[in-house]
Amino acid sequence: MSSGLPRPGVHFMMGNFACVEAAILAGCRFFAGYPITPSSEIFERACVRFPQVGGIAVEMEDEMASVAALIGAAYAGAKAMTATSGPGFSLMMENIGLAFIMEAPIVIVNVQRAGPSTGIPTLIGQGDVMQARWGSHGDIETVVYSPSSVQEFFDLTIKAFNTAERLRTPVIVLADQLVGLMWEKVVIPTAEDVEVVERKIMDPRLLSTRPPFDYSVDVNPMPIVGTGCRVNIDSLTHDERGYPTTSQEISDKMLRYLLGKIRNHARELWMYKEFMTDDAEVVVVAYGSTARSSLNAIKQARARGIKAGLLQLITLWPFPSDVIERLSQRVNALVVPEINFGQLVHPVREYAKCPVINVNWAPGSLIEPHVILDAVEVAAA
Amino acid sequence: MTQVVKAQRHPRDSLLRSERLPHIWCPGCGIGIVMAAYADAIEASGIPPEKHVCISGIGCTGRVSGYMRLDSFHTTHGRAIAFATGLSLVRPDLEVTVISGDGDICTIGGNHLIHAARRNVDINVIMVNNFNYGMTGGQHGGTTPLGAKTYTSPYGNFEAPFNMPYLVAAAGASFVARWTTLHVRQLINAIKRMMSVEGFAFIEVISPCPPTFGEFNNFPEAIDMMEYFRKYSVVDHNADLSKIDIRLQGEPLVVGNFVDRRRPSYQELVQETIRKASGRGESV
């Protein structure tokens, strides 16, 4: 009888499928979804694969319900995920905020499509970068990873679960239509070679001597239902016992603790790749599928004698401010191409010490390398 | 001279977060009666407290979960049933009860309600119906009777309300009941029955709300609506559910345990799917 785990080795696989295999290896055994293009293959494959490894994959009535179900499943002890695209992501904002304040480790995959509202479901976009960070009301912090290949989609899905478990917080994998639907080589490691992080669980015996929410620690262990903790988990601002409060002193403590979980770990969360930046005078800052066109563009620029490089941002949030600050001190200009009308360029401008040129194209297709090349040439001139 | 009188402990104190009392509910409110009935049913269920989970949404009734000394969750508005679905799928051995108000369960959460009933998710849902949004000061919602005055229906409500037992039974629930806060014994027994039903179990509890609903609808004092329940309630377990709308105009207020039937629960079917699929992953 098969273990149901993905076969290690080299595969030719769709990005959306690779995401599911990664989730299984990361220990995820609960999926609640609602179909939406271009992410549906994730949900469909989860429905085939999760039961094979003893997991649950169910269809909810909408995306608000999906994320609510994930939080319930997380508190029942499961690693839980969902997948969606723009319109569904908008509906999830409510309960992403709930997962943040309830400190539920869940993973949300957004395979971005084109346009506002229902836009163009079948075409590519990168318009949800700001929503992934600022979409839920009040002050929250999110961790957002952006893959540019099927392999990265696989690796970052595992990473997302590990970060969620370690920090007890929702983590978003911000893919796009190209990365989701593209078939590409992916190397799947053996289960023993995958680093898997498990959350710290609250021991109910400790609750006689300590409160369930100690706002002076880094991350509190998680009370799991049915283990005798009998703790109240509240969507309202709550004190160290988990009880609702309007005390401004406690509210301040709670928020600093919740935000601090991410802010204090920002440096270890930052992931990025550099290509030919050592002697670069112009550096393209790109993420997701746009990083692929950008790599081609800087190679063409090099062939024309321009010292160009690429900084591929993998962690979009918390924003890798120091990386931009450091790099921008030794280059003449940064070029930021995005399949939207200007989103991640704003934090880049906030931290850059050099001129920043934005390249925006978002009718539903990739930014072609020659468009980025033009901007690099202008920046180098 | 002030004399300090030490109150006796309440027999259900071990199930309540008594350090949080007094609760926030207004004098004459029925929610406390429902919470006490829930505690009594837990006691009578024979299931240990650590195996009970209480989940609420937002609103006055949404505060119940926070007063119960159980694994408890106070979630977002309308989403308690979806939250409970995820939790109980992973831990089908736990006794999961959603307690929330009519605005939360019927109106903003109505879609989650009917789909959970359709799937026959093995959870208990206690919906306290006080005919209005009380916590926000008294606005009309999906259960407000025709003609009733609220701050958002100042000339009388012109929206037809849902007949909740009829709706939830039609959606496929395994157990459907309606009682009022006057019918405490029957309510405790019905909640206890819910806990043994394997499938979606729903109780509508009709409750007074003197300050934000009663005041404008001829039930200004706590006793007024209780007196109405006493006068007009009719127990009919076999009632034609299509005819049990609530108008609060002196028509019979039909209560009872209307539906109690068995079909496979969602949790059972999900586990069956896992059995069918397990060990079939080698082609990946």
Res B282 pLDDT > 80: no
H helix or E strand, kind and range, residue A25: helix A15-25
Q: How much is the average pLDDT of B139-166? A: 98
Ranges of H-type helices in A272-332:
290-303, 321-328
With 60 as the cut, is the pLDDT of residue B284 above it?
no
Of A97, A98, A243, the CB nearest to B20: A243
Best B15, B87, B114, B273 member to test A by mutation, with max A CBs in 10 Å, is B87
* Confidence (pLDDT) at B213: 98
Residues in B 42-101 with any Cβ partner in A closer than 8 A: 49-51, 53, 55, 58, 65-66, 69-76, 78-80, 82-91, 93-94
Does B27 lie at the interface with A, CB-CB under 8 angstroms?
Answer: no
pLDDT tier for residue B201 given thresholds of 50, 70 and 90: very high
Place of tokens 């959306």: A16
Q: What is the mean pLDDT of residues B103-109?
A: 98
Q: Are A128 and A86 in contact (CB under 8 A)?
A: yes
Q: B284, A69: Cβ pair inside 8 Å?
A: no
pLDDT of residue B11: 83
Interfacial B residues in 102-141 facing A (CB < 8 Å): 111-112, 115
Domains A9-193 and A273-380 share a fold: yes
Q: How far is B139 from chain A (nearest CA, A)?
A: 22
Tokens read off for A93: 């904002």
Among A55, A54, A64, A104, CA closest to A84: A64
Length of chain A as a residue count: 381
Domains of chain B, each with CATH number or no CATH: 26-274 (3.40.50.970)
Closest Cα in chain B, distance from residue A252 (Å): 20
Percent of chain B residues past pLDDT 90, beyond the cut:
92
Domain boundaries, given as residue ranges, for chain A: 9-193, 273-380
CATH topology of domain A9-193: Rossmann fold (3.40.50)
CB within 8 Å: A69 and B85: yes
- List the single residue in B with minimal CA-CA distance to A101: B75
By C-alpha distance, which of B9, B98, B85, B2 is closest to B54? B98
Q: Is the dihedral of CA A83, A190, A74, A172 positive or negative?
A: negative
Q: Count chain A–chain B contacts defined by CB atoms under 8 A.
A: 166
Q: Classify domain A273-380 at the CATH topology level.
A: Rossmann fold (3.40.50)
Å between B117 CA and nearest CA of chain A: 12
Residues of chain B in contact with residue A240, where contact means CB-CB under 8 angstroms, are none
**pLDDT tens for chain A, residues 1 to 381:** 578 999 999 999 999 999 999 999 999 999 999 999 999 999 999 999 999 999 999 999 999 999 999 999 999 999 999 999 999 999 999 999 999 999 999 999 999 999 999 999 999 999 999 999 999 999 999 999 999 999 999 999 999 999 999 999 999 999 999 999 999 999 999 999 999 999 999 999 999 999 999 999 999 999 999 999 999 999 999 999 999 999 999 999 999 999 999 999 999 999 999 999 999 999 999 999 999 999 999 999 999 999 999 999 999 999 999 999 999 999 999 999 999 999 999 999 999 999 999 999 999 999 999 999 999 999 999
Model pLDDT for residues B68-99, shown as the tens digit of each residue: 999 999 999 999 999 999 999 999 999 999 99
Contact A53 B281 (CB under 8 A): yes
Q: Is B200 on the interface with A (CB under 8 A)?
A: no
For chain A, how big is the Rg over CA atoms in Å? 21
The answer to whether B281 contacts A52, with C-beta atoms less than 8 Å apart, is yes
Residue numbers of B between 206 and 265 with CB closer than 8 Å to A: none
Q: Do A229 and B71 touch (CB under 8 A)?
A: yes
Q: What is chain A's percent helix, strand, coil content, to nearest 5?
A: 40, 20, 40
pLDDT reading at B3 higher than 80: no
Question: How many angstroms away from the CA of B81 is the closest CA of chain A?
Answer: 8
**Which contiguous run of DSSP H or E holds residue A359?**
strand A356-360
Task: Calculate mean pLDDT across residues B219-226.
Answer: 95
The overall average pLDDT reported for chain B is: 96
Distances (CA, A) of A225 to B54, B79, B121, B183, B281: 10, 18, 18, 32, 30
Contact A6 B280 (CB under 8 A): no
User: Is B66 in contact with A61 (Cβ distance < 8 A)?
Assistant: no
Q: How far is CA A105 from CA A166, A173, A229, B155, in A?
A: 8, 13, 18, 48
Tokens of B94: 């736990």
B73 contacts in chain A (CB < 8 Å) = 72, 75, 102, 232-234
Q: Do A69 and B65 touch (CB under 8 A)?
A: no
Tell me which residue in A56, A65, A78 faces B82 most closely, judged by beta carbons. Answer: A65
Instruction: Give me the helix-helix angle, A40-52 and B266-277, nearest 10°.
Output: 80
Q: In what order do the strands lie in the sheet with A356-360?
A: A272-275, A308-313, A282-286, A333-338, A356-360
Question: Measured between alpha carbons, how far is B158 from B145 in angstroms, rounded to an integer?
Answer: 9
Q: Is the complex ipTM higher than 0.95?
A: yes
Cα–Cα distance for residue pair A22/B141, rounded to 1 Å: 45
